[in-house]
Amino acid sequence: MYVRKEIRDFMKKMPKNMKMPKHWRKFVNEHSKDYNLLIQHGKAYECTNCGKYSYENMMRNKANIRKGICPFCGKEFYIARSNLRSCSFVYDLASIDNVDNKLIIRYFEIRRSYDYRKRRFNDNIAEYARIVPEYDIELVNDRFYRFLTWERVYHTNNIKKWRVFTGRYRLRQRYEAIYLEDMKEKLKGTIYEYAPLTEAVLYLGNRRTDFMNVLKKAKYSSFELLMKAGLYNLALSRPKEFDKKGSFEKRFGVNKKFYSFMKKHDISYNELQVLQIIQRPNIAKIRRLLRISNSNIMDLQEANSYTILIKLEEYSKKQKYFSIQNYLDYIRNMEKLEVPLTKKVLFPEKFDKAHELSVKKVKIVNNKILQDKIKERCHQLEKNQYKDNIFFIRPAQSLDDMKEEAKQQNNCVYKNYSERYANGGTDIYFLRKLDAPNKSLVTVEVYKGRIRQKYQKKNRLVTKSQNEFLKLWEKKVLNAA
């Protein structure tokens, strides 16, 4: 593999071994506390973390794995018998360094081995990888070995050389924590010198933090501004959206009088978008509007074009099976039926009944053009099919398929979504069980690669297992596409 000259020159300047931070060992010991055992001696339990004995009974969990909580140090550990001879834990820690004003993230594997004579664990530390974000390269040393997805770090050899990692997969980057004590000093001279990275990591909890993702956000000039303004959520999610010059209102889309409200609630990007629409500093109403819309801002904006969202939020509290999507379906049906959108129509006494009646009155023109369009759409979306050992999901296959889904689910997918699906305005999928492929389970709408609606029969919420499957599908298939 060809390595650019600037990277080759940089590697020549990079020491094989670098000094460790001043309190590095203390940092390692602090995180090693989570990797210990309770050694059972008859009715007594010895904690390898604090060295104290307890005579309390230890509980088993549902998986029949013996675990207990030490009453002295308060930590939960696995329980092992006193005849244990061998046991080890492996985890990673990280620190940063500076070479030629370039930030380096250093990865260390900590291997904790049980010494049965002392009934304590010993730590052995080996540095195995370095990442240079500015060059977008990963470096590994001769202690690190990888074959496909299998990794090993040798703890016996001195570091002889570093090389650019050229494996098919990226290095593991899931460390327990990153050393923060000297971060400001190490950032001097780098492109991140003034970025409040320590504060960002502490905000995220410094527990398996995706530091590379934090660095991507820190490249925007707005990152520093947002962090210092106490708008941490915005800084660590969408700093790009605020990377512009001008007044507070130009940057955030709301008047500066809302700043204290935004800071108090550490407002998220979606919450800010709702605030921009309703112009009311009420976090409860903002979050409820996000819940009933499944965080779909475009749907909230459309609903706001028909009525005031604050009024709609109040109305929704008294209604059954209410969602912004169902409300928009109902409004569209009223428009198709040429019914004037009076206050009584906009806010029917019983929304579920009014919605159901509007669906019955709407007619679908069942012709060959519509049927052919739906079959073509199904062909386009077949690549997004997915399954596990319980569920599978597939696109709607035909007009009759959608009609049957609506009949089984008692929903409006046939009347309200057939034409939009056929014309590419939205995507419709059916979630079903592998052992019952013809029985409707969940109707799913996807818009712009994101799940917009997911309901069981009569618009009931999905179960936990169904929701987990759909989340995985969205992440692995829809987002990947």
What's the pLDDT tens digit per position in 65-108?
A: 788 999 999 999 999 999 999 999 999 999 999 999 999 999 99
Instruction: Tell me the DSSP string of 321-357.
Output: S--HHHHHHHHHHHHHTT----HHHHS-SSHHHHHHH
Residue ranges covered by each domain of the chain: 368-478
In this predicted structure, what is the pLDDT of residue 437? 95
What's the pLDDT tens digit per position in 334-353?
A: 999 999 999 999 999 999 99
Q: What percent of the chain has pLDDT over 90?
A: 87
What's the pLDDT tens digit per position in 382-404?
A: 999 999 999 999 999 999 999 99
CA distance 38 to 30: 18
Whether residue 61 has pLDDT greater than 70: no
Average pLDDT taken over every residue of the chain: 93
Radius of gyration of the CA atoms of the chain, in A: 29
In this predicted structure, what is the pLDDT of residue 392? 97
What's the pLDDT tens digit per position in 157-203?
A: 789 999 999 876 677 667 999 999 999 999 999 999 999 999 999 99
CA distance 258 to 281: 7
In this predicted structure, what is the pLDDT of residue 365? 79
CA distance 54 to 71: 7
What stretch of H or E contains 97? strand 88-99
Mean pLDDT of 276-283: 97
For 265, the 3-state DSSP assignment is coil
Mean pLDDT of 375-387: 96
217 φψ region: left (φ > 0), alpha (ψ -120 to 50), beta (else):
alpha
Q: 381-391: string of b/e by CB count within 10 Å (b at 16+)?
A: beebebeeeeb
45 is written with which tokens? 């339990």
For 75, the 3-state DSSP assignment is coil
In this predicted structure, what is the pLDDT of residue 173? 65
